[in-house]
Structure 1
Amino acid sequence: ALRHSDTKKWFGLMMLHNDRWIVNLKLRPEEVQFYQKIYEGVTEAYHMNKVHWITLYLDSDVPREEIEDLTLQSFELTKRSDKSKTKKRKGAL
């Protein structure tokens, strides 16, 4: 699992599936179908919420730069928001 160091929340999940390496990544819902349409190597998420997550085959037609960009997007979408930091501070008072 690819996790944030502070919250341990997943932003990616790598696994071997049918002898192929895949990674599940979170995207904005409007981007999920877009990437599925332009790359054969992007499919519905394997064992994840299919509205928000994709499965990306690492040995597919998806360029390495795109894989890196999608991984960073997933990282950003799943990181702790400033709102949750504010809630923690208020709870400590």
Structure 2
Amino acid sequence: MNVEQIREYCLLKEDAEESLPFGPDTVVFKTDGKIFLLLSLDTEHTQFNVKCDPDKAEELRAAYSCVLPGYHMNKKHWNTIIVDGSVSSGILKEWIDDSYKLVKKKKKR
């Protein structure tokens, strides 16, 4: 996935919004006012930060060399993903979906 594909995928999510609150080099995607993905625009390889269950975050870091502790984030809850071709687009989308679901508020009935 490239930057534009990640952006388009994030914006398909219900109530997803994008902004540049940290300057022109980082696109922030939120739902219900909470960040679910930060996309870097100034790196050699495409990379993004996603929220993750703490136990799963460590498992992913151990299993995939492209998954690092979240850059400039709470490393317990966030991972940085380097899009270097070592994992499929499907897996990247799963990680984005997981992050979105973690921050999406449950609708009251």
Is TM-score (shorter-chain normalized) higher than 0.5?
yes
Match of 1:53 among 60, 68, 78: 78
Query: After TM superposition, which residue ranges in structure 1, 4 or more long, deviate above 2 angstroms?
Result: none
Which of the two has greater helix per residue?
Answer: 1
8 Å contact from structure 1 (residues 40, 60) kept in 2? no
Give aligned pairs, total. 82
Instruction: Deviation per CA, 1:31-82: give whole Å up to 9, x if none.
Output: 0111001111000100000000000011241221110001000000001135
Q: Is 1:64–2:89 an aligned residue pair?
A: yes
After superposition, the Cα gap between the structure-2 partners of 1:41 and 1:17, relative to the gap in structure 1 and judged at 3 Å, is: farther
| 1:1-93 to 2 correspondences below 5 Å | 1-4=28-31, 7-16=32-41, 18-82=43-107, 85=108
Matched letter for residue 42 of structure 1: V
The alignment yields a C-alpha RMSD, in angstroms, of 1.7
Determine which structure has more spread, i.e. the larger CA radius of gyration: 1
Q: Percent identity?
A: 28
- Give me the TM-score of the superposition, normalised by structure 2: 0.68
Q: Within 1, Cα distance between the matches of 2:34 and 2:100? A: 10
d(CA) in 2 for partners of 1:51 and 1:59?
Answer: 23
More relative contact order in 1 or in 2 (CA 8 Å, sep 6+)? 1
* Unpaired stretches in structure 1, ≥5 consecutive residues: 87-93
Q: Which runs of 5+ in 2 are unaligned?
A: 1-27
TM-score, with structure 1 as normaliser: 0.79
